[in-house]
Chains A and B, each alone.
Chain A
Amino acid sequence: MTPLLFVGMIGALVALTLYFFATKAPILPPLISEHGQLIDDQIYLTLIITGAIFAIAQLGLAFLVYKYRHREGAKATYLLGSHKLEYTWSAATLVLFVGLNLMGQKVWAEMHLNEHPKPAIEVEVTGLQFKWYIRYPGKDGVFGRRDVNMINDAEGNFLGLDKTDPKGADDIVMGSLTVPVGVPVVMKIGSRDVIHNFGVRELRVKQDAVPGLAVYIPFKATQTGSYEVACMELCGYGHYQMRSQLNVVTMAEYTKFLADNAP
């Protein structure tokens, strides 16, 4: 009775898990970035490999439990192990795991190690409890000075822009991120208080916004539309409502957006 139940339970576990992953996994949220394809490929490859490992290991366990259940008069074999099997198995998993990992390094290099594409649109993303502010450098292409002592939330100067710096005179600050489709963008991500994380599911981008540190993340959007930006690192009680938007628009719309919002 018990071994049969065990087989049934494991069988159900494997069947249901594979079914849900096979039917749910192809609907990772729609992909809208160029580098994201590499991430998705890696996720699907890992899903297939681990799916096989999962099924083989679980069903193997169920099979052994059933096959070697206690029966009248049965006797266990005195078996101490096998060095040869042990080495083979270790080498095989080592090659598989490390090999799989190395396949994923291309996209990592593209995002973090290689020089970022130039020219690119540069935007500054700043997290604060519990909002995101996005700054564009304006016509001159240069960001103006920021000073924590000049922050004034009541007057809307959330980033502490130095009004006396001419370079900052044309800077644009928005509550959401608007970028043109098909053009490289580099975000400079930071925070003015605690650690946040700028995450957009569809973009396959997720990066901590750390106070005192600037991290640069490149991407190229491939599809117009509006997408939700979520904070992905616990930042306090309002963490769950630290929501913003990513608008991917055509180049013409982007030019108009900059002109409309220029100070």
Chain B
Amino acid sequence: MSAESAAEHVHVHEPPSSFIRRWIFSTDHKVVGIQYWILALVAAFVGMWLSVVFRLHLANEGTIAQLNNQLSALAPDSAQAQALTEQIKALQAKWFVLTPEKYLSYLTMHGTILVFMVLTTAPMGGFGNYFLPIQIGALDMAFPRLNMLSIWLTILSFITLMAAFFVPGGPPNSGWTGYPPLSAIPAAQGKGYEGPGGYGQDLWVLSIAIFCFASLVGAINFIVTTLDLRTKGMTMLRMPLTCWAWFVTAILSLLSFAVLLVAGLLLLLDRNAGTSFFIPGDLFFNKPLVDHRGGSPILFQHLFWFFGHPEVYIAIVPGMGLVSHLLSTFARKPVFGYAAMVFAIFGIGIVGFFVWGHHMFQSGMSPYVAVAFSVMTMVVGVPSAIKTFNWLGTLWGGNIRFTSPMLYALGFVSLFVTGGIGGIFLGQNAVDIYFHDTYFVVGHFHLIMGVAAIFAMFAGTAFWFPKMFGRMMNEPLGKIHFWITFAGVNVIFITMHLMGLEGHPRRYSGFNYDFLSSNYMVTCHKIVTHTAILTATTQLLLLVNIVYSLFAGPKATDNPWEATSLEWAIPSPPPFENFKGGHVPEVHHGPYEFSVPGAAKDYIMQQEPPEARPATAPSAH
């Protein structure tokens, strides 16, 4: 629909008068976006503090192992030995000491909460929902009711996941990857997980299935909105890179969550309906398992990682889009290689569907296929390298303003590089023989997927807060938060790489090995735990900043960052219908017209008249 006809015929809805329809069960994309954002914030804090608890457990166990080593060198009844024994007893009585089952439960919930409820909600459902329609000049998403459905299904999924804490036996202990047979056979998870105790795993699978469904609905909405609701003049190649990133992410979601949904449903059937999709014959758990045969545990891994690798891109691609946008905005320069960036996002999206086997090099799958997956994995490194190159190119010759969103964006680039380095090791099938399932993997994926994506969320929050809530966030607080968090996560996850170099296995709750109870390993564990506590506590600064700024931040102008995209052409916060009276402006410029030679100011907004851009300036899009 063109802008003129929109202006003439659109009848703008009044906001619903009932509080519930306006703010709770709302179809307004802005409200849905904020709901996703709040969900992610809540989930992030739950998941993060879970990790602090099991990190405390690990450092403590490490100390106990060290003391035990000293003890074994002493005469059993010497006074020194008795003192040590007392000390060990005291440590074993600490509140954060976990049973091995609980350790793995918390670990499983930490991973599941963060991957699904944080990394897959805020970047897309949160910021995407709020800003995609505005940036392309639409009054709402294409299917507002489906949008409401997808947020409420996601909330239901989160509640279902949390319910696992409250059933007998507690949450499952099969890891966020939930490999069968461990996840498929209640007896495999130990006493307390059979009978009613197994509900934790059922709830986990159910929660993920609901989440998949919500994501599929959301993905369709994003794709249709991007293709159909752009305002006049907003060609695909005039879309900000954020919109491209959301668009590609939606396609990835559509193709991958459908597969995870199937894997989850089959697993649920294996657990509860006596099927054997993933359970082979001749298993033994206390007694021969007679009623299952013919399934394949490796089939589940293929389905899971067919989703799982694209999932890491679902988490990071919106961040890539936002960071490109911010580097350009705050360096006051066009994005270096806009078209290359679009190609790279698509390249990552497409090639990313052919690399899932790199999670399975040592799984027993065909070693011939492993070679192909390994080569493809190295190929997907190329678009990642293009993006990094172009980010540096965007800074080149810039006039950089160091606002807190810009700092978070620069942190993202640095973290992406550091994390990507680990991928060059793990993507090689031969090298992965040594590093598979060590802390090296944990360090790698936390940096590149976890922390980098979280930094993009910090950046998005700091950048768009003025638009969403009409007030600026506090800059000094934001900067302090950035410095401590950036230093902290590097210390934590680079230390984990070093532990992986020594071969430390992941998902271990204790130190029953000589090489684990060495002073070196225990020191590493302590460094990680202490830094994790500091970094987690620092996140309270973010919370304080949000709450304080919500009520007492300085009032934001329409365009406080002097940015170009359409959300900055409307009031902060935007009116219910986004564009006053439903009059969507026509777009005349590309998204990154900064420092155009001869222009009156150093940015040209997308809706400014064509004359704002001097005819003599080199042409962009």
Contact = CB atoms under 8 A, between A and B. Distances in A.
A164 interface: no
8 contacts: A2-B402, A25-B501, A58-B414, A75-B595, A112-B370, A194-B188, A211-B282, A213-B297
A250 to B, nearest CB: 23
A28 interface: yes
Given A78-B333, A94-B382, 14 more contacts: A13-B490, A17-B494, A78-B618, A82-B337, A101-B374, A111-B367, A113-B371, A199-B503, A211-B181, A212-B297, A213-B298, A231-B505, A236-B188, A237-B173
A228 B513 contact: yes
B321 to A, nearest CB: 17
Contacts of A3: 400, 402
B362 A207 contact: yes
A209 to B, nearest CB: 8
Contacts of A183: none
B333 A100 contact: no
Nearest to B104: A237
A77 B333 contact: yes
B417 interface: yes
Interface stretch (B242-250, B386-394, B557-565): B386-394
A251 B97 CA distance: 46
Interface string A133-158: 00000000000000011010000000
Interface in A61-92: 61, 64-65, 68-71, 74-83, 85-86, 89-90
Interface in B315-344: 331-340
A118 interface: no
Interface in B344-379: 362-364, 367-368, 370-371, 374-375, 377-379
A194 B180 CA distance: 7
Interface in B381-422: 381-382, 385-386, 388-390, 392-393, 395-402, 407, 410, 413-414, 417-418, 421
A34 interface: no
Contacts of B285: 193
Interface of A: 2-3, 5-6, 9-10, 13, 16-17, 20-21, 24-25, 27-29, 38-39, 42-43, 46, 49-50, 53-54, 57-58, 60-61, 64-65, 68-71, 74-83, 85-86, 89-90, 93-94, 97-98, 100-102, 104-105, 107-108, 111-113, 128-129, 148-149, 151, 160, 192-195, 197, 199, 201, 204-208, 210-213, 215, 228, 230-241, 243
Contacts of A29: 502-503, 515
Interface stretch (B19-27, B267-275, B432-440): B432-440
A208 B397 contact: no
Given A9-B487, A234-B182, A240-B512, A193 B284 contact: yes
Nearest to A46: B425
A211 B185 CA distance: 13
A105 B371 contact: yes
Contacts of A195: 179, 181-182, 297
B428 interface: yes
Contacts of A233: 179, 437
Interface string B166-190: 0000000111000101100100111
B393 A148 contact: no
A130 B400 CA distance: 57
Contacts of B377: 101
Nearest to B479: A2
Given A90-B386, A201-B515, A98 B378 contact: yes
A37 B283 CA distance: 37
Contacts of B617: 78
B430 A108 contact: yes
Contacts of B602: 75-76
> What 4 A-B pairs come out closest when comparing CB atoms?
A212-B280, A112-B367, A81-B337, A104-B430
Contacts of B50: none
Contacts of A71: 399
Contacts of A20: 494, 498
Contacts of B388: 57
A222 to B, nearest CB: 17
B548 interface: no
A100 B498 contact: no
B594 A76 contact: yes
B483 A39 contact: no
B154 interface: no
Contact of B297 (A68, A78, A211): A211
A195 to B, nearest CB: 6
B430 A80 contact: no
Contact of B402 (A69, A78, A101, A231): A69
Contacts of A24: 498, 501-502
A61 B414 contact: yes
B302 interface: no
Given A234-B179, A236-B173, A98 B375 contact: yes
B571 interface: no
Given A54-B417, A80-B336, A206-B434, A192 B101 contact: no
B382 A97 contact: yes
Interface string B27-64: 00000000000000000000000000000000000000
A240 B181 contact: no
A151 B434 contact: no
A228 B515 contact: yes
A136 to B, nearest CB: 21
B407 A13 contact: no
Nearest to B403: A2
A78 B367 contact: no
Contacts of A230: 505, 513
A89 B386 contact: yes
